[in-house]
Structure 1
């Protein structure tokens, strides 16, 4: 687990949160779900890196 991996995973989570909020603000459910998926992907990758 490197610092680069951690930064990438956190960036993916932040990007996902921004997409989710934009989706909520505009009423775009697809964008909102996409943001939620990005957040989950980042969290899963981060946990996998911590476990190894």
Structure 2
């Protein structure tokens, strides 16, 4: 996984956490769900990249 991909995934995860927190605070369930979705997407991307890296070595 390249450093740029790691940074993008970390930024997407952080944005998802922020959306989720704002959604919880304001009672906006849609925003909270969107934040959770962004975090899940970021985690899946990271897992996929880790699998690719494992097969490279």
What is the TM-score normalised by the length of structure 1? Answer: 0.97
Could you tell me how far apart the structure 1 residues matched to 2:44 and 2:8 are? 12
CA offset at residue 17 of structure 1?
0.3
Using CA pairs below 8 Å that are at least 6 residues apart, which structure has the higher relative contact order?
A: 1
| Structure 2 length-normalised TM | 0.89
Give 5+ residue unaligned stretches, structure 1.
none
In the TM superposition, structure 1's runs of 4+ consecutive aligned residues that sit over 2 Å from their partners are none
Gaps of 5+ in 2: 53-57
